[in-house]
Amino acid sequence: MTTETKNLAIKEMYNGIGRILNFSALSNLYFCRTPQWMMQRIHSYKVNGKPAFFKDEECVQMANALRDIANQLNEIANTIDNSNQ
């Protein structure tokens, strides 16, 4: 998968679950960056005259961040399910 394709997948993910995830926290916790940095890349805003995008390693970092969030959510759901026992 090319970097361009990965960036498109991130943008589609944002369009799909952007209302659910706190991208400000995501950018701070997983990237140590500002929310503006993240939005510049998601929307390919121009930075210093060039469109910004996620580098390959940042795409991997995003995928890992989303997996970590998913794991945390699953653990919480399991705790809720098991609380009746």
Contacts of 13 (CB under 8 A, 6+ apart): 66
The per-residue pLDDT of the chain, averaged, comes to: 95
Q: Is the dihedral of CA 66, 67, 70, 72 positive or negative?
A: negative
Going by pLDDT thresholds of 50, 70 and 90, the confidence category of residue 9 is very high
Kindly report, residue by residue over 23-47, the tens digit of the pLDDT. Answer: 999 999 999 999 999 999 999 999 9
pLDDT at 84 over 90: no
Structural domains counted in the chain: 1
* Residues spanned by the domain of 72: 3-82
Interatomic CA distance for residues 47 and 66, integer angstroms: 25
For the whole model, what pTM was predicted?
A: 0.89
